[in-house]
Chains A and B, each alone.
Chain A
Amino acid sequence: MKKLIYSVLITASLTSCSDFLEEENRQALTDAVIFRDPSSFDQLVANTYNRARATTSTLDLEIMGTDIYTRGTIVAGIDELNDYVNLRPFNGALGATWNSNYSLIAAANTAIDRSETIQGLSAAAKTKGIGEVKFFRAMAYFTLVEQFGGVPLILNEVRSSNVDFTRAEESQVYTQILADLTDALAAVDETPTQFGRVSKSAVRHLRAKVLLTRGYKSFKVATDFAEAATLAEEVISKHPLATNLNTLFTRAGQRNNEVIFSILYGTNPVNRGVGNNRHLMFKFVYDVYPGMTRSILYHRGLGPAPTPFFFSLFEDGDMREQVTYRRTLFAEVNNAARGVAIGDTVIHFPKTAWPASLIATKKYTVVNPGNYFTPNGITEVQYPMFRKFDDPGVPYTNPGINPEGERDAVIMRSAETRLIAAEAYLNTGDRTRAAQHINALRTRAGLTRQIAPADVTIDLILDESAKELAGEVSRWLELKRTGRLIARATAHNPHVALNKSLQPFHLLRPIPNREIDLSAGKIQQNPGY
Chain B
Amino acid sequence: MKRNLHWRISPPTTGNLRTSPLFRQILGVWLLSFVTHWAMAQVTVTGTVTGSGETLVGVTVKEKGTMNAAMTDANGKYALKVKDGASVLVFSFIGFEPKEETVGNRKEISVSLAEGANSLEEIVVIGYGQAKKSDLTGSISTVNAETIQRANKTNPFQAMQGQVAGVNLQTTDNKPGGAFTVRIRGANTINSNQSTVEGGYVAGQNPLFVVDGIFVNDIQFLNPADIAQMDILKDASATAIYGSRGTNGVVIIKTKGGTKGKVSVSYDNYFGTKQAYNIPNMLQGEEFVEYFKQVLVGNQYATGNYNFTKDNIVLSNFMRPNEIANINSGTYTDWIKLSTVQGFQTNHTVGLSGGSENTTFGLGMAYTKDEGTFEGEGFERFNLRGNIVSKILPKLTLGYTNYISLATRNEGSREGLRNAYRLRPTGTPFDANGNRIFFPIEGETFITHPLFEIDNMLMETRTLSYLGNISLEYAPLPNLRISTNFSPNIEYGRYGEYRGRFNKSTNGVFQNTRATVNLNNRISYTWDNIINHDWKINDKNSLNSTFVYSQFFDRSEFYGLERRSFSTDQFLFYNLGAGPVIQNASSGLVKSTLESYTGRLNFNHGGKYLVTFTGRYDGSSILAPGNKWAFFPSAAFAWRIAEEGFMRNQNTFSDLKMRLSYGQTGNNGAGGGLVPLGSQALIGNGFTNIGDQVLQTAFVNNLANQNLTWERTREWNLGLDFGFVNNRITGTLDLYHRLNSDIIFFRPVPTASGFSGVFENVGEAFNRGVELGINSVNVNKGGFKWTTNLNFATNQNRVTQLYNNLEQILFNVQAGSFIHKVGHPLGSLYTFEFDGIWQLDEIEQAAKFGQRPGQIRVKDIDGNGVINANDRTIIGNTMPKWTGGITNTFEYKNFDFSVFVFTSQGAKAASWFHLSHGGVGGNRFNTLKWDYWTPENPSNTIPQPGNPGPFEEPFFYRDVSYTRVGFMTLGYNFKPAVLEKVKLKGARIYFTGQNPFTFTSFEGWDPETAARNSWGSAHLSRTWMGGVNIKF
Contacts and interface: CB of A to CB of B under 8 A. Distances in A.
Interface in A1-28: 1-2, 4-5, 8-9, 12-13, 15-16, 20-28
A288 B442 contact: yes
A32 B750 CA distance: 25
Interface residues of B, number: 112
A395 B509 contact: yes
Interface in B306-338: 314, 316-318, 320-321
B691 A195 contact: yes
A80 B950 contact: yes
A44 B698 contact: yes
A16 B760 contact: no
Given A47-B686, A77-B303, A154-B753, A22 B621 contact: yes
A31 B700 contact: yes
A31 B296 CA distance: 57
A512 B869 CA distance: 11
A40 B698 contact: yes
Given A47-B688, A49-B688, A271-B694, A110 B700 contact: yes
A454 interface: no
A24 B512 contact: no
Given A21-B595, A27-B590, A77-B946, A165 B750 contact: yes
A196 B317 contact: no
A28 B681 CA distance: 9
Contacts of B505: 398, 401
A515 B676 contact: no
Interface in A469-505: 498-499, 501
Contacts of A98: 751-752
B471 interface: no
Contacts of A161: 703, 705, 747, 749, 758, 760
Contact of A30 (B476, B581, B681, B747): B681
Contacts of B692: 195-196, 264, 266
Contacts of B946: 77
Nearest to A43: B698
Given A24-B591, A27-B589, A396-B509, A520 B807 contact: yes
B697 interface: yes
Interface stretch (B10-18, B36-44, B150-158): B10-18
Contacts of B997: none
B782 interface: no
A110 B749 CA distance: 17
Interface stretch (A81-89, A176-184, A213-221, A421-429): A81-89
Of B504, B697, B698, most A-chain CB atoms within 10 Å? B698
Contacts of A398: 446, 504-505, 507
A28 B677 contact: yes
A180 B116 CA distance: 83
Interface in B466-499: 474, 476, 482, 484
Interface string B515-539: 0000000000000010000000000
Interface in A220-272: 264-266, 268-272
B628 interface: yes
Interface stretch (A308-316, A339-347, A362-370, A373-381): A373-381
Given A31-B683, A158-B755, A518 B750 contact: yes
Nearest to B590: A25
B754 A105 contact: yes
B512 A397 contact: yes
A159 B703 contact: yes
B588 A27 contact: yes
Contacts of A31: 680-683, 700, 704
A78 to B, nearest CB: 5
Nearest to A518: B750
Interface string A157-194: 11111110100000000000000000000000000011
B13 A13 contact: yes
A21 B675 contact: no
Contact of A21 (B508, B628, B752): B628
A375 B318 contact: yes
B699 A107 contact: yes
Contacts of A49: 688-690, 695, 697
A269 B592 contact: no
Contact of A197 (B504, B690, B750): B690
Interface string B740-772: 000000011111111100101000000000000
Contacts of A162: 804
A288 B443 contact: yes
Most chain B CB neighbours (cut-off 10 Å) among A12, A160, A378, A516: A12
Contacts of A399: 446
A218 B501 CA distance: 58
A29 interface: yes
A354 interface: no
Nearest to B504: A398
B697 A50 contact: yes
A320 B355 CA distance: 91
A107 B749 contact: no
Contacts of A288: 320, 442-444
A376 B317 CA distance: 5
Nearest to B8: A2
Interface in B611-629: 619-622, 628
Interface string B1-28: 0000000010011101000000000000
B132 interface: no
Contact of B589 (A26, A95, A107): A26
A379 B318 CA distance: 7
A13 B17 CA distance: 11
A76 B300 contact: yes
B704 A159 contact: yes
B688 to A, nearest CB: 4
B687 interface: yes
Contact of A517 (B396, B688, B810, B851): B810
B619 A21 contact: yes
Contact of B690 (A9, A46, A378): A46
A310 B540 CA distance: 98
Nearest to B583: A269
B1010 to A, nearest CB: 22
A32 B680 CA distance: 9
A46 B696 contact: yes
Given A16-B14, A23-B621, A518-B810, A272 B689 contact: yes
B973 interface: no
Contacts of B252: none
A77 B695 CA distance: 47
A110 B699 CA distance: 8
Interface in B841-872: 850-851, 868-869
A273 interface: yes
A294 interface: yes
A40 B505 CA distance: 37
Most chain B beta-carbon contacts within 10 A, residue among A9, A15, A22, A379? A9
B621 A21 contact: yes
B686 A50 contact: yes
A525 interface: yes
Contact of A23 (B321, B444, B507, B622): B622
B480 to A, nearest CB: 10
A163 B753 contact: yes
A165 B443 CA distance: 49
Contacts of B583: 269
A23 B592 contact: yes
B529 A9 contact: yes
Given A30-B681, A518-B750, 10 more contacts: A20-B553, A23-B593, A28-B677, A49-B697, A77-B299, A154-B754, A161-B758, A162-B804, A294-B509, A517-B810
9 contacts: A12-B529, A20-B553, A30-B682, A31-B682, A43-B695, A46-B690, A195-B691, A271-B689, A378-B321
Pairs A-B, 6 closest by C-beta atoms: A106-B754, A288-B443, A194-B691, A27-B588, A395-B511, A43-B698
